[in-house]
Each structure stands twice: as structure tokens, then as C-alpha cells.
Amino acid sequence: MAPRGAHTNGGLRPLTTSTTMPRALVTGGSGLVGGRCVTALRDGGYDVVATHRSFATSDTVYFNCADMADSVNFDVRQFRPDVIVHCAAMTNVDECESKPEESATQNVLATSNMVALAKELGAQMVFISTDYVFDGSAGPYSEDAEPSPLSVYGKHKLEAEKLVLALRGALVLRVTNVYGVEERGKNFVSRVLANAQKSIGDAEPTTLRLPSDQFATPIDAEDIAAVVCMLLRDDRSGIYHIAAAEYMSRVQLAAKVLAKVPGHSMTIDPVSTAVLGQKAPRPLKGGLLPTRLLAEYPLFACRSVHEFLSSSQKPKALPGVYAQYDQSGKHWYAPNKFEAYGEEEIQAVASCLRDGFLAPGPITEEFERQVAALFGKQYGLMVNSGSSANLLALNAFGFKPGDEVITPACTFSTVVAPLVQLGVKPVFVDVTDAYVPDAEVVLAAITSKTVLIWLPNLVGSKPDWAELRRRTTLPIWEDSCDTITVTTETDVSMTSFYASHMITAGGGGGMIMANDKGFIDKCRMYRDWGRIGNNSEDMLERFGVSVDGIPYDGKFLYGVVGYNMKSCEMNAAFGLAQLKKLEQFRKIRRANFDRFLENMKGTSYVLPKELVHSDWLAFPLRHPRRAELLAFLESNNIQTRVCFAGNITRHPAYRQFYEEAASFPMADQIMSDGFLLGCHHGTNFAKVDRACELLKQFEADSAQQLS
């Protein structure tokens, strides 16, 4: 054994003698995958020793897996690991082809030594392998595909796999095109990103000559580490493929990276592999299908390249106090926790904190302008929630006794609540199976007392605003809290930036939008405590006001009975960063909605219809055995919601408006049978498909019970 402090651990971390913590040895701990495994295992409660052979870090000890007699090797036997995660390898495939003996030593002999050590110590073995064990003629490959390697590297990794699988309880994890943040920046994504950033401002473009015919499934090293911990925790064994859903060529991968670097001067020259003359043969249609992983862990989803490039800091589990929610089985309504935002939003909020601008300021004003423009309006006023937006705007309307407002019976509570609080009579109309009222029904409800048509884009579905505008001169307002949509036909629009909505302003926020500046100014008064004055600090302007002969500060003169419903500058900063992703979010949500629709056609479930094309918040369905169905889905970790209020007049707070003679059959059906499944941009087709399979399973089981 070498003296401690030589090539052992440099005296930086003493060996543990704990008998309570499981111990893990990670070979190749200074590499990308090994380093991520070290972090994940430590976070998971392991005492970890990480090793290196040629590239040392402050956190690794020297260990030559290919030479167990090396005098300066770390003493693994003294450490006695419970788990050996073998990441060390010779991975340069062209070098392996040129130096087959060295490849055999580093990839086969080294693995053989670690297998023998694991067997001797009774440790579980985890081996990181590759898609190069396949020939690339028919990829991506599932775990049960027959290996047929083309290269020396692929053949040696397959040989090593067989050695590992001879061990009881061993794990072989195949990965490919691994990327991530690492000290040396060796991986393809990091290299392209670094070169693109260096090229900014270069007069002469740099050309990347890349193969257009080599396809694979890029994977984030953090996801590999997460799977390692997950499989060890659950005592799994055998072969698993770890892969994200994306299947792309090197050209496509590089293009994704370059798209994240504005102003770069790089170009891509797509060529065939044959033109490149690479030493080692490549599996052209390589890549992996994580069939077994998805079957056993359907809720686990590897993040995409875009998500990695947007944020290198997305946690895999909720930290600190929030962990209790995971442990209790509760999941955030915004799915996948941190996948709805990235580093751009974090940096935007951090900038506000550094600048010291916490109250609404210039960023809020810019956010107001941009969101108002999206809705086809000139002016916007940011508030702390969509419900606050409704309350403030309806306060500013100026209702008179006896006024009536047409609004749907199937709605959200805070569409109706302000009307009740203001003493205005809501005239309810039923909705269609599009979850919004038909224009004819709304128009038929107009009387001489009607002063406003006030409709929500419920669940993101839109009424026929154009038809309503064409046929009435009454004010038309929309509660668009469930979606963001261009509606030039409405006079006033309200929206919400709640955590699960189209975009979020840090978990909350809302906005009122209109073309009438005077109306927006009145809403601002109600928002800002009822204050008449502005934020001017000019003393002459402030004290140019007299109240009953008393010189008074006009900045704090109250003209209406108001509230404090202001947001913060940080909310707007977060929201501005989200706005840049809005089109992408819309496309993902719509694709998820359409995927649900296509999957569920021909089933007994009542599916939604559209009056006009809409950007849906969620996917609404109806089923007569809703309570049993939702219990079944929730027991399978599919989060559900009922359709908000259903028939609002049946709720205790609004029972005064319930009339036996009033007929709202669709609102009643939605109340009794309706429910929602998420279309959030943080979800994916695999999760949608799984939810649909469970819905069909329940349908089949129900039919069998009836027969």
C-alpha cells in the first residue's frame, strides 16, 4: 500500500470507517460520466472514492485498473466498497483501432481485474458500455438486440460486457454520445459550444466538417448518474440502455448547439462518413432505445439537448425542505419540477437582485408591452395573479345597480367571484363540448340590462370571438388565464403566469391588457392601494395637492378603495426570459394535445372539440366512472384535475344563483364526468402514451367487469 498522501488521496479526504454508509468505488472518476456518478452517489448517501489513472483531480485517487500490482494504487481492499462503478476506459475509438493491444489492456484486462475484485469483495458491479457493440445497420437498438461490433473498441467493450455479466447482480449500462459540463471539455457538445463562443465576432467563418450519416441518441451524463443510483437503489441487474428521446446525426446535434450561441461565425459542412476517412468504422445508424428502463421507470425522462443547453443546473430531485413533497408522493402541478425553466430565467432574476430593483420597474414595463402586443392590445398592467387581474379590471369597469354580465356556468371561480363581490348579476349560459359557450347562446342571452360579455378561454379553448365581435357592440372581455392567444376582437384581456401555465413569471403573476389607457390607469389605481398619484419624487408635484385646505402628498392620495396587488421586478424578469420560449412551449403543448387526441380516438371517453384552433392548457376528457378512474390514474402516478368548477351555480359560495329551472346540461356533465390530464411543455410523448395506455386499460377492465 502506498503512503497515504502520495497517490492515494493527497490527504484531502480521509478514508471512512463508517459501517452505516454504503461505500462505492468509481473508476474513471475524473472523467465526465465518472464525475457525475461520484456526485450522484454522494448525494444518495454513499461514501465514495473516485479514481484516476492519467488525469488527476482534487477529488480522485490514483488507481490503475489494468495493473493491480502497481505500487501506488489506492488500496481498494482496505476501503471494501459495496459497489464498484467501472467508468474507466480507453474511449478514443480511432486510437483503439490503431493500438488494439492497448485497447485490450484498458478495456478488457482492466475490466477483468475489476470483476475479479468485485467478486472477491462481494461488491456489486456497474459497467458503463456503449452502442458501438452494434453494427449500426438498424439502430436505435433495444436491450435484446444482438450485438455485432465493427470496431476494435466495440469488440473489446462487448468482451468486457460478457465478463461483467458473469457476475451475479451486475449491471451493464450502455450509453452513447455523452455530453455535459466537464473540466476538460472533451465531449462533442462542449467542444462545439466552446468553439462557437470563441468564434463570436470573427470575420472569417470557421467550418465544421461533420458526418451527416452517423446517427445516435445523445445523453446527458447527469441522467446516466441518476439511472445508476436508481438501479442500485432498487437492486436491479442485467443490461439497460440509457437514452433520451432524441435521435439525431452529428450535423443535427451541432446545429442545436450553434443555435444557442448568437453571433457565432461557424458553419457546418455536412459530409458522408466515407469522406472523413476515420480510422475506426462507425455504427452509422447507432443509438439506443431505453426499452427496459421506460418499462420499469415510466416517470423517468432524460432531458433533451435543448434543456441541457438552456440550463446546466436543473436538479434531479427537489432539494432540502421540498424533498418531503417527493417523499409523500406529491408532485408539483408544473410537471417535472424544474424542467419548465432554465439558466436564462435564473440569471434574469439574479440580475434583478444584483441591481437592487425589487419593485416594478423598467423590466416590468417591457414585459407589459410585449405581453400586451401578443394579445393585440396597446397597454398592459402587470399584477400578482390572473385572479387579481380579473378582480381589478372588474372593479375598474364601473358597474351600476341592476347591471348584468353574461358569463358561462362552467367556469373558474375567480371569473364569477368579483361579480358577486361587486353586486353585479351574472347571467349564466351553458358551454358546448368545446368547454366554452357557442356564440349564438351568448347573443341570445343579451337583454337591455346586459353591460358586458365576460368569457374565459377555459382550459385554453377559445370561444368564437370574431363572431361575437361582428354581431354585438357590447364590451367583450376575455379571461385568458389558461392560455396566451392573439384576440384583437376583445376589448380587455386578462392572463395568468401561474406555474403550470403557458409561461410563468416565477410561479405567479398576471396581466390586464386593453387599448384604453384611461382604463389601464384606473386599474393601476385599484392595484396600487387605491392611490391617485404616480411615483413622482418631484416635491412640487407631490405637494401641489390640497385636501380640505391641508397641503398633502399627492403620491399618497387615495381615490378608490383599492388593494395591493403589485408584482415584483423579478417576476417580470423571469417572464421576459420565458417569452423567448413561448413559441416552442406552444408547439410542445399543442403536439401533446394532438397526441392525446389521436391516441384516444375510438375509445369510450368523451374527447374535447374546438370551436376555433386553440392553445390548450390541458387535455380534458369525460368518463362516467370518473372517481374510480382518477383513483386508478393517481395510483399509477398520473396526476389529474377535475375541470375546475364545473357548474359554478352548484357550489356553496354561488348557490344563490342556482335555479332548478335553469338548464346547463353540459356544465353538469363536465362537473360529474370531466377531468384534465397535463399537456405541459415539460412532458413528452412517452408520458402521454403511458397515460393513454392506462386510460385504455381502465376502459378494458371496466368492459370486462360489465360482461
Tell me which residue of 12, 85, 11 sits closest to 44, measured CA to CA. 85
- For the chain, give the percent of residues with pLDDT over 90: 73
Q: What is the reported pLDDT for 328?
A: 40
Q: How far apart are CA 618 and CA 165, in angstroms?
A: 45
The confidence score (pLDDT) of residue 332 equals 35
Query: Average model confidence (pLDDT) for the chain?
Result: 90
Average pLDDT over residues 221-249: 94
Q: What is the pLDDT of residue 600?
A: 97
Contact 623, 604 (CB under 8 A): yes
Using 50, 70 and 90 to split pLDDT, how confident is the model at 123? very high
**Cell numbers placing 383:** 399584477
Q: Is residue 462 scored above 80 in pLDDT?
A: yes
CA distance 477 to 482: 14
* CA nearest neighbour of 218 among 288, 113, 134: 288
pLDDT tops 80 at residue 544? yes
Eight-class DSSP state of 662? -
DSSP state of 288: B
Which residues, 6 or more positions from 417, have their beta carbon under 8 angstroms from its beta carbon?
Answer: 387, 390, 391, 653
Q: Is the pLDDT of residue 12 over 70?
A: no
Main-chain phi, psi angles of 151, to 5 degrees? -105, 165
CB-CB contact of 55 with 114 (8 Å): no
* 3-class DSSP state of 218: coil
DSSP element (H, E) containing 291: helix 291-296
What does the alpha-carbon distance between residue 452 and residue 463 come to, in Å, rounded to a whole number? 15
pLDDT tops 90 at residue 389: yes
Most confident option among 37-51, 298-312, 393-407, 544-558: 393-407
Residue 9 has pLDDT above 60, yes or no: no
Mean pLDDT computed over 18-33: 86
List, in sequence order, every residue forming a beta bridge with 425; answer none if it has no partner.
Answer: 404
Residues 630-664 have pLDDT tens digits of: 999 999 989 999 998 899 999 999 999 988 777 89
Mean pLDDT, to the nearest integer, of 480-495? 96
The pLDDT assigned to 417 comes to: 98
Asked whether the predicted pLDDT for residue 318 surpasses 80, the reply is no
* Cell numbers found for residue 412: 373558474
Q: Is the pTM here over 0.75, yes or no? A: no
Percent of the chain surpassing pLDDT 70: 93
From the list 80, 25, 14, 21, the residue with the least C-alpha distance to 51 is 25
Alpha carbons 383 and 325: distance in angstroms, whole number: 29
pLDDT > 80? residue 368: yes
For the segment 23-49, the average pLDDT, to the nearest whole number, is 93
- Degrees, nearest 5: CA angle 702-704-707: 110
Q: Are 486 and 438 a contacting pair, CB within 8 Å?
A: no
Q: How far apart are CA 98 and CA 84, in angstroms?
A: 29
Q: Is residue 417 classed as helix, strand or coil in its secondary structure?
A: helix
Statement: residue 248 has pLDDT above 90: yes
Query: Which domains does the chain show, CATH number per domain?
Result: 23-184+218-243+283-310 (3.40.50.720), 347-579 (3.40.640.10), 582-706 (3.90.1150.10)
Q: What are phi and psi of 107, to 5 degrees?
A: -105, -25
Residues forming a β-bridge with 127: 86, 172
324 Cβ contact partners less than 8 Å away, ≥ 6 residues apart: none
Query: What SS3 state is found at 68?
Result: coil
pLDDT of 225 higher than 60? yes
